[in-house]
Chains A and B, each alone.
Chain A
Amino acid sequence: MSNVDSTTGKVSNAQKLRSFPGNRIVWHAVIVGAVWLLLLLLNNNIDPLYSSYLALVAMYATAMFGMTILVGLSGQVSLGNGALMAVGGYVFALTSMNWQTVPIFGWQWNAVWSMVFAGLGGILIGGIVGGLAARLKGPYLAGLTLGLAVGVPAITNRFPELLGGENGLMLTVPYPAGGYSAAAGAAELGDETTDSGADPGLDPSISVDEDQYAELDLSEFDQEFDEFDQDIDPNTNAEAEDLLTEGDLLTLDDFSDGGDLGLESPEPSEEPIVDAGVDSGVDSGTVATDSAGSLDDGFIIEQWQASMAIAVACLVAFAALNLIRGRQGRVWKAVRDDPIAAAVVGISPSGSKVSAFVVSSLFAALAGAVFAQILSFVGPGAFGLGLSLSLLVGIVLGGRSSLLGAILGALIIVWLPELVNGLAGERGWPDQITNNAPNLLYGLLVVAVVLAAPGGMTGTLRSWIDKSRGKSRSPLS
């Protein structure tokens, strides 16, 4: 039904292809996979300093994908996502510290299990808060989640033995058994490079491989870009009809499938790394300890952190992409734009709000777990109101209702302080100015964006493109 063009009554093949959910999931997987590969190649070829920025950007982006869904699509202004990151971070820290030796379902305890539990913690807390939030409108919700942002870090003081109080918890990040080598990224692509990956002597061959793959990626990416362009101008009639049908489109239930699908993909990548470690058994120990070495040599903690953060961000992006561009995304938008009209066509407004909250909580908790691994530490200071505010700032500046906006926002949040620090170093500003300049900029920019360009960077860009094509559309759609 939904494939029928309401004006001509015909079903176009392109439309059929695009609206078939399995097909869309494949396309999304290819898009995300291509970006993932590009990022891994980037990560393996840059200075470890930049890798640590990359890790932070990926971490912020993970949390902001949740903000895209919550603030952008569902229209709920929440300051609680920093607190939900704290939930994820603390669950990760506690599980990885205390249960490190316990196998579950025969699978040795490691970071992945801790991440799973962090995600579950996020879903649990997000469900509770979301249930409350669904009853609340605008300022009430913002105020309640503001309380969450202030209150949750304070809880850590209540349980100083368990949660470490004000000082937080130091955690030993469970690194992969074979260590992370620079070629591990290339190893994702297949087995042939794994042997050379552990061996620093074969650098040239690795770089040749990488070049090949880079070419391949770019061509794939171009295709994706075209597809993406096509998808940017949606047939509004078809969308409205999709809203009414409960048919073949993606629902929240499918999300778990998507998650499984996503979670499977890193396995082949992890095993070769472990294998490499086992194969060159003697090396693995020395490689891990000689971390001060060059890029191609041995375990570089920043690169490992970045590859882990990128992996999580890509999986979350994949899930978010499917949700946003599927049925659930339209449900969220419908409730945001007109809850009464949405209720009339059979959508539960409160159910939609809770689902947005739970999904964003899951993403936030995963980001929190990544943050814990990046910092090797969790503490109330790291997850305070400032973190929640920076998530809000990032999503508003980047673009409230697109995933690309979330990525741009994450870049701004990480890059702007560095820019200011660099400037301050050149000009010799006092610390008092330097430390506060990024926040002053954030605050002023947020106000300016809300006033002048409510769609943020992506929204504004999109409306320019639309204008040049002679179309008009709300910058927040």
Chain B
Amino acid sequence: MTNFIDFLLGGFSNGAVIALMALALVMVWRSTRMVNFAQVGQAMFTTYIALTVQQSTGNWLLALAVAMGAGLVLGTIVYFLVIRPVKNSDTTGAIIATFGVLIALQAGAGMIWGGDPEGFVPPVSNAGLEFAGRIWPISLYDILVLAVTAALVIGLTLLFTKTSLGLSMRASAFNPEVARLSGVRVNRMLITGWALAGATGAVGGVLIAPVSTISPNSFDILLVFAFTAAVIGGLDSLIGAVTFGIGTGLVISLVTGYTDASNAPVVALVLLALNLLLKPDGVFSHHGSRSV
């Protein structure tokens, strides 16, 4: 039982990062109705930038801020250069194009920073906390990860529910035609969605880097987990992405704890397949109301 609790606790910070990545996928889906398979590639790239900043200044907060800024810019660039020209003409092509961006980003990162895994020094201790006479599987850094994630999720929720920008974004996601008629600059909302998704993914990348290592391909597996979480959550639900992102993190932690880390992708695959079979629209989806 203590094992079970330990494994669960250990899964929270991973789950938080998966939730952030899933959140990024969902924001892109909501704005342009497509999955950005380059999302973790963008996050990987901005994490390398953050790594460079941290190595030269030693300031983690600055690195995080730079990564977020780079994520905003990268998301916008990808949208403008790739997605906007291809989006309407060819859905198959749009999916393929995001994979093209992923390949190019990974190769580019490999060119600039090399292919060897690099460590990312955490700002606070990564060792398990000692409390009530035993060492818990949660470190100070895990708590920081959870705090940053919570702050970001709360910020995004406030943005989407309390500001006029958020309202416009929701309107253009829900029905672009009607939103446009109501005076919403739909195109700007789409860009904002991509940029925000880029920044969210960038935060996720910076947060996971000290726990794993960072190499051009090290986030591939994160894409599978995040996609699983986003799809189970319904692909257009922010709450669903966060809930199932953390849920996926917990399941993976349990699987890794009780069996072996190499089973994690297989379990994610099974979860994804089961969900697509049983409830293809996801748990938190608004599809039912949309199709009326």
Contacts and interface: CB of A to CB of B under 8 A. Distances in A.
Interface of A: 71, 75, 77, 79, 132, 135-136, 138-140, 142-144, 146-148, 150-151, 154-155, 157-158, 385, 389, 392-393, 396, 400, 432-433, 435-440, 442-447, 450-451, 454, 476
B181 interface: no
B173 interface: no
B266 interface: yes
Interface string B83-101: 0011001111111110111
Interface string B221-255: 10110011001000000000000000000000000
B37 interface: yes
B104 A440 contact: yes
Contact of B110 (A142, A143, A435): A435
A77 B81 CA distance: 21
A151 B268 contact: yes
A444 B269 contact: no
A144 B263 CA distance: 16
Nearest to A447: B100
A375 B111 CA distance: 28
Categorize the interface residue count of chain B. 35 or more
Given A77-B92, A138-B92, A158-B263, 6 more contacts: A138-B91, A142-B95, A393-B100, A432-B110, A443-B100, A443-B105
Contacts, number: 153
Interface string B33-48: 0110100000000000
B103 A436 contact: no
Contacts of B86: 450-451
Contact of B95 (A139, A154, A432): A139
A446 B97 contact: yes
Contacts of B100: 393, 396, 442-447, 450
A450 B276 contact: no
Contacts of B227: 143, 146-147
B177 interface: no
B116 to A, nearest CB: 10
Contacts of A392: 96, 99
Contacts of A151: 224, 265-266, 268-269
Contacts of B273: 132, 144, 147
Contacts of B220: 150, 385
- Shortest beta-carbon contacts, A-B, top 10: A443-B104, A446-B100, A443-B103, A439-B107, A139-B35, A157-B262, A440-B107, A436-B110, A147-B269, A151-B269
A432 B114 contact: yes
13 contacts: A71-B92, A77-B96, A139-B95, A146-B224, A151-B266, A154-B265, A154-B266, A389-B99, A432-B111, A442-B100, A445-B100, A450-B90, A450-B96
B272 A144 contact: yes
Given A148-B269, A432-B110, A142 B103 contact: no
B82 interface: yes
B35 A142 contact: yes
A147 B268 contact: yes
Contact of A146 (B115, B223, B266): B223
Given A139-B34, A450-B97, A451-B82, A439 B104 contact: yes
Interface in B182-236: 216-217, 220-221, 223-224, 227-228, 231
Contacts of B228: 143, 147
A136 B95 CA distance: 14
A424 to B, nearest CB: 12
Given A437-B107, A437-B111, A440-B107, A155 B95 contact: no
B64 interface: no
A236 B6 CA distance: 66
Contacts of A146: 37, 223-224, 227
A451 B93 CA distance: 8
A446 B103 contact: yes
A132 B110 contact: no
Contacts of B223: 146
B37 A439 contact: no
B107 A396 contact: no
B132 interface: no
Contacts of A136: 276, 280
Contacts of B96: 77, 392, 396, 446, 450
Nearest to B262: A157
Given A71-B92, A140-B276, A146-B223, A451 B97 contact: yes
Contacts of A439: 103-104, 106-107, 110
B130 interface: no
Contact of B260 (A77, A132, A138, A158): A158
B292 interface: no
